[in-house]
Structure 1
Amino acid sequence: MSKEQHKIDTEDLIKQTAKQLFFGEGKFKATTQEIADAAGVNRTSINYYFRSRDNLFDIVLEEAINKVNDKHYTILISDLPFRTKLEMWLDDELASAIKYPFLEVYIVTQMQSKCKHIRRNKNDVQLAQQALEKELAEEIKQGRMKPISTTQFMINIASLVSFPSCMRPLLMDSFDLDNERFTQIIKERKQVILDLIFK
């Protein structure tokens, strides 16, 4: 293995470990030492590659959000049927909710201070919205969905997907759920959401 490849592998290992601790286990205040121990590297490696624990946190948060945004855009502008697009979008969102159950919580609570600089290509957003609006109008015209504005539709979808993750601790306590049962409920959300949307 070349020195450059070793560097890339080590950086990636640290980032993936940090992401799991922060957003998979909800350990937002995990220390540099805790991250290093979980990754099986020296603490100095984190400072060497990322300068600080806070900088590492910002990097993995930005990468996580941008990866989701990029995938959503790719799905929305594809030539696939509307329902297929929605199913793919739900698969991706719900898989992320299972793998990183605390990511949504952090984004919501830190939107102003941490997420305002996340890149968003306005042209991509506009193209995706235009595609969605056109296809949504066709679904309504064909009688497969009840009339609804594009904005309300997106708010509904975001709410149906994100609410369980954002409210995870309260829901688990209220319904006396363990992690396994809660994960199963999240997996069931796709069909529940599709049944609510389509006639």
Structure 2
Amino acid sequence: MSNQTKKEQTQELIKETAKNLFFVKGKFDATTQEIADEAGVNRTLINYYFRSRDNLIQIIFDEAQKVEKEKSNVIQRSDLPFKEKISKFIESSLSTSLKYPYLETYIVSQMNKGNCHEKDIEKEMLEDLYKSIEEEMDQGNIEKMKPVQFLFNMVALLVFPSALRPLLMDNLRISDEEFDVIISERKEIILNILFKK
């Protein structure tokens, strides 16, 4: 194996380990030493490859935003009927929640610290989305409300359980495996709440 390949593999291992600590385990304050220990590498390698913990976090943050952007593209770039678009978005969001339960919480925590966040939806596309929601309401497929309320409902139904995962698991006595099953079952439930038909 070439030195370049080994270097790339080590960098990827460190990034994946940090993602796992932040997005899967919710340990946002993990230190460089904790990341190194979890990855089974020397701490100096993190500084060697990424210059600093902050730089590693920025790279991970950028990748997290890319995941969010890809989810939004399902709604923005597709010619599917509106309900199918929303269905695909929900599916994509739930699958991301299963893979990275703390992703959204992490992005919000970084935004609260003043770190840059790229908007997932362009202004014109948001206006088109609101228009589509209003058309669905006029056709009787969705309860009448401000379009932004429809989006709030959808996001709340999608994100809230994962954002409160440890609290819900503890209070409702749900294991990790059971929680994952419950999340994977939510697509039809959410669609039935959002759409009248």
What band does the TM-score fall into relative to the shorter chain?
0.7 to 0.9
Which stretches in structure 2 are left out of the alignment for 5+ residues?
none
C-alpha RMSD of matched pairs (Å): 2.2
Q: Where in structure 2 are the equivalents of 1:46-85 lying within 5 Å? A: 46-85=46-85
Query: How far apart are 1:149 and its partner, in Å?
Result: 1.9
1:178 matched to which residue of 2? 175
Q: Where in structure 2 are the equivalents of 1:80-99 lying within 5 Å? A: 80-99=80-99
Using the size of structure 2 for normalisation, the TM-score is 0.87
Which is further off, 50-59 or 2-11? 2-11
2:119 matched to which residue of 1? 120
Quick one: which amino acid aligns to residue 196 of structure 1? Answer: I
In structure 2, distance between residues paired with 1:160 and 1:142 = 23
Task: Give yes or no for contact 1:22–1:102 (8 Å, CA) kept in 2.
Answer: yes
Task: Give yes or no for contact 1:66–1:119 (8 Å, CA) kept in 2.
Answer: no
Q: How many residues align?
A: 196
Query: How far apart are 1:134 and its partner, in Å?
Result: 2.5
Using the size of structure 1 for normalisation, the TM-score is 0.86
In structure 1, distance between residues paired with 2:105 and 2:131 = 32
Percent identity over the alignment is 47
SS class of match (1:79)? coil
Query: How far apart are 1:17 and its partner, in Å?
Result: 1.6
1:13 matched to which residue of 2? 13
CA 1:74–1:185 in structure 2 vs 1: closer, same or farther (change >3 Å)?
A: closer
In structure 1, distance between residues paired with 2:9 and 2:129 = 38
In structure 2, distance between residues paired with 1:81 and 1:2 = 49
Task: Give yes or no for contact 2:71–2:93 (8 Å, CA) kept in 1.
Answer: no
Q: Where in structure 2 are the equivalents of 1:134-173 lying within 5 Å? A: 134-173=131-170
1:193 matched to which residue of 2? 190
Query: How far apart are 1:67 and its partner, in Å?
Result: 2.5
In structure 1, distance between residues paired with 2:118 and 2:122 = 11
In structure 2, distance between residues paired with 1:3 and 1:132 = 49
Query: How far apart are 1:65 and its partner, in Å?
Result: 2.0
Task: Give yes or no for contact 2:74–2:85 (8 Å, CA) kept in 1.
Answer: no
Quick one: which amino acid aligns to residue 126 of structure 1? Answer: K
CA 1:25–1:114 in structure 2 vs 1: closer, same or farther (change >3 Å)?
A: farther
